[in-house]
Structure 1
Amino acid sequence: MISRPPSVPPASPESSSIDPERLKKQKAASVVLYIGLVLLALWVVRDFIVVVAWAGVVAIALWPLLHKLASKRWFNGRTTLLATLFTLVIALLVVLPVGLGIAQALHEAHELSDWFRGVQESGIPVPDFVGRLPFGVQQITAWWQANLAQPLRDSAAMKGLHSPTVMTLGRHFGARAVHAAMVFAFMLVTLFVIFQAGPRLSGSLLRAARRGFGDSGADLVQHMATAVRGTVSGLVVVGVGEGVLLGIAYFVTGVPHAALLGLVTAIAAMLPFCAPIVFALAALWLLAQGSLAGAIGLAVFGAIVVFVAEHFVRPVLIGNSTRLPFLLVLFGILGGAETFGLLGIFIGPALMTVLMVLWTDLVE
């Protein structure tokens, strides 16, 4: 007896054919769902986006060196050791200068405290250089006699130091310092995780960009990474150069702690137009000590160094690595800093690179 195969029920119209309109609605709903989930995730981690962005900038800058060391025999397969080494080096590069500055400030805190107690009782005499100023001598002398030359215990200037506004600013500065320290700590943790992921992370990002946007999207991501790397290199090289030149100027003009002040200048010079704050304060100190020629010389020399470095050397270094015109590099740095703050220094040239790539694709 031959058994018959079980009969298959006829397919329903809903399973045999897909309604195009229904499929279109499902895709639209899926896109809305995905976008909503991504926005919700970004909202949850909104306080850490800046941390991840800073860690990404540092990782992009050091990625070629990390990849080169990972291929060496000593670090082959030891991604955790390599990530720990890189993270510790970055932490020391930031913590060591800050620690030296705090140690120097504590070392001189006793002398500063004695000087402060002395001026409270006897005031600050009018410096000799005020009488040699080309203009405003009478006005400055009158203000100084009224506010600083008398014992400062009961002066208006001393009362202003204890005003609620000054106290509020001090507390605000302390809160900002604690917040910056926490951001730096979280950035180090994020950076360690990125370094530990190693080449797998960069490969995954490129595959995702190629799958989502094609080969042109992957190339665009690589161009943006090159722009960020070139920006970091330009900032560091120019900052170190400005610090060395101005450190020599501090030593020649007789500014105390010239080496430490040169290090501070180098760190400040890595940020656009921050070095003038340091050498201007040094020039004011020289002026207060009666060295008018030294103050003018330091101010003029510092202005020339900063002008050449910020307007010519730095844009050329960044432009050569990213193949961007001088004007786009300058607009990217300044516009990015104005729009996104400190992080915009790196975002701006990357966006200018995207603009340049899109323009090249359009005209070719």
Structure 2
Amino acid sequence: MIPRPPAVPPGHPSRVPPGGDLPGRRKMQHFAAAALYTALVLLALWIVRDFIPAVAWACVIAISLWPAFRKLERQPVLNGRTTVIATLLTVVIAIVLVLPIGIGIAQAAAEAHDVTLWLRNVEQNGISMPDFITHLPFGSEQVMNWWNMNLGQPLKASPAMKGLHGNAVVTFGRHFGVRAAHALMLFGFTLVTLFVIFQAGPSLSGALLKGMRRAFGTDSAQLAERMAAAVRGTVSGLVVVGIGEGVLLGVAYAMTGVPHAALLGLITAVAAMLPFCAPVVFCGAGLWLFIEGGTAAAIGLVVFGFVLVFVAEHFVRPVLIGNSTRLPFLLVLFGILGGAETFGLLGIFIGPALMTVLMVLWTDFVR
């Protein structure tokens, strides 16, 4: 019988693995795994970088319509038919977004012939001086002389008109076509992503909340819900108020005799979704009325527009956004404007959500 070797104590050097300390090796493995996962995630984001805006827009729309999705899901007729609900909501969003653009394109196509005739007349005869210039309280003679020297004569030989027939128009058309194709592709992928998000339904939201709890703790789910509320409040405050301003100012355009009142009201609604942009549209309409001799109508339209914008921007919109996110008005304003400056149009909705995170972190810090 062969005798067994004596047992080696746990702390003896011969028990140490040849690769070194086992806890140290595990730490190195965790660090290497984290670095590998981070690199893979960054590589994946870099590959899909052109589609990130589409996914972000789809997430914003899905978060905004999530209460409507849940209400439809609870209906007996649609219970369990997630694909039908996803198709219905996606089609509605497509119609709501495409219809105004289609109306604008149709209106522009209808006016293209008149614009072409006007440009030809300007080339041959120049631009006639408006009547209101002769009634200016001061400086009318200087303005008339400048107008006659620069605009009153035939503009066929002017550099601006030559540019309209040169390579500048071709280059502009090419860039515009590329941008339009890119926007159309982005819109298509947004609709596809939106359909997938709605089709996944509650399982997707449950998985996201579970993953956030596992990765960042139990408070992260509450923070995510508040960020979603911030996005919904921002959409309500911007879109709903913008549509309301567009409808009311569209009625004012029609009453004061502004041409194409419906189209101009649609443009005003889109501009009103951006803070303090609606005055650009209705002030332009007021200037047109003033040039045409409707001084009283122009003053009334501008005054009504500024009163409407003041009420919407200082009372209605902060209430809709601030109540849903519990943010002060100043943070709401900074979030919208700063987000728009940093991320473009998408930042209007991202900014208040980030301000909500900042507010939650500050509240937890001062407790």
TM-score relative to the length of structure 1:
0.90
SS for the counterpart of 1:351 is helix
Residue in structure 2 matched with residue 194 of structure 1 by the alignment: 197
Does residue 153 of structure 2 align to residue 150 of structure 1? Answer: yes
What is the match of residue 291 of structure 1?
A: 294
Q: Indicate which of 124, 127, 130 corresponds to 2:130.
A: 127
Match of 1:184 among 179, 183, 187: 187
Separation (CA, whole Å) in 2 of partners of 1:120 and 1:337: 40
Match of 2:59 in 1: 56
Residue in structure 2 matching 1:355, options 354, 358, 361:
358
SS, match of residue 274 in structure 2: coil
Query: Contact 1:268–1:274 at 8 Å: present in 2 too?
Result: yes
- Decide whether the 8 Å contact of 1:225 with 1:350 is kept in 2: yes
Deviations 1:216-250 (A, max 9, x none): 11111111111011100111121012112211221
1:204 to 195, 207, 219: 207
CA contact (8 A) 1:311 1:330 kept: no
Shift of 1:167: 4.5
Aligned equivalents of 1:296, 1:144: Cα separation in 2: 25
Q: SS at 1:353's partner residue?
A: helix
Selected match of 2:312 from 296, 309, 314: 309
When residues 95 and 310 of structure 1 are mapped into structure 2, their CA distance, relative to the original with a 3 A threshold, is same
Structure 2 residue 108 is matched with structure 1 residue 98: no
Kindly provide the amino acid, as one letter, of the partner of residue 226 in structure 2: H
Q: How does 1:31-46 map to 2 (within 5 A)?
A: 31-46=34-49
Work out which of the residue numbers 259, 264, 277 in structure 2 matches 1:261. Answer: 264
Letter in 2 for 1:280: C
Give the residue type in structure 1 aligned to 2:331.
L
- For each residue in 1:293-329, what CA deviation from the matched residue of structure 2 results, as whole angstroms up to 9, or x when unmatched? 3333323332332233234321221001111111111
1:85 correspondence with 2:95: no
2:78 aligns with one of 54, 70, 75: 75
Which of 62-71 and 129-138 deviates more?
129-138
- How far is the alpha carbon of 1:18 from its aligned partner? 7.1
Amino acid at match of 1:355: L
Residue 190 of structure 1 and its aligned partner are, at CA, apart by 0.8
Q: Using a 3 Å threshold, how does the CA distance of structure 1 residues 67 and 109 change in structure 2: closer, same or farther?
A: same
Q: Deviations over 1:79-100 (max 9, x none)?
A: 1111111111101101111111
CA distance in 1, matches of 2:169, 2:293: 30
1:236 — aligned with what? 239
SS at match of 1:154: coil
Q: Which of 107, 111, 115 is equivalent to 2:114? A: 111
Asked if the contact 1:147/1:155 (under 8 Å) is kept, the reply is: no
Worse-matched range after superposition: 298-307 or 337-346: 298-307
| Equivalent residue number for residue 22 of structure 1 | 25
2:177 corresponds to 1:174: yes
CA distance in 2, matches of 1:163, 1:137: 35
The Cα of 1:139 is off from its aligned counterpart by 3.5
Cα 1:169–1:241 change in 2 (3 A) is same
Q: Which residue of 2 aligns with 1:3?
A: none
- 1:336, 1:348 within 8 Å by CA — same for their partners in 2? yes
Counterpart AA for 1:59: A
State yes or no: 1:214 paired with 2:217: yes
Q: How does 1:314-325 map to 2 (within 5 A)?
A: 314-325=317-328
Structure 2 equivalent of residue 5 of structure 1: none
1:120, 1:152 within 8 Å by CA — same for their partners in 2? Answer: yes
- Describe the superposition over 1:121-153 as per-residue Cα deviations: whole angstroms up to 9, x where unpaired: 322211101122344423332232123222232
Tell me whether 162-171 or 97-106 shows the greater mean CA deviation: 162-171
| Structure 1 ranges of 4+ moved more than 6 A | none
Unpaired runs of 5+ in structure 1? 1-9
What secondary structure sits across from 2:156 in the alignment?
A: helix
- For structure 2, list consecutive stretches of 5 or more residues without a partner in the other structure: 1-7
Greater shift, 104-113 or 178-187, is seen at 104-113
For 1:63 and 1:251, how far apart are their aligned partners in 2? 36
**Corresponding residue for residue 273 of structure 1:** 276
Shift of 1:253: 1.5
1:222 maps to a residue whose letter is E
SS of the residue corresponding to residue 360 of structure 2 reads helix
- What's the RMSD between the two structures over aligned residues? 2.3
Q: For residues 279 and 209 of structure 1, do their structure 2 counterparts lie closer, same or farther at Cα, with a shift above 3 Å needed?
A: same
Letter of the 1:192 counterpart: F
1: CA distance, partners of 2:105 / 2:142? 37
Shift of 1:43: 0.7
Q: Distance in 1 between matches of 2:174 and 2:327?
A: 43
How far the C-alpha of 1:164 sits from its partner, in A, is: 4.3
CA contact (8 A) 1:129 1:292 kept: no
Q: Are the aligned partners of 1:239 and 1:267 in contact in 2 as well (CA < 8 Å)?
A: yes
1:247 lines up with 2:250 in the alignment: yes
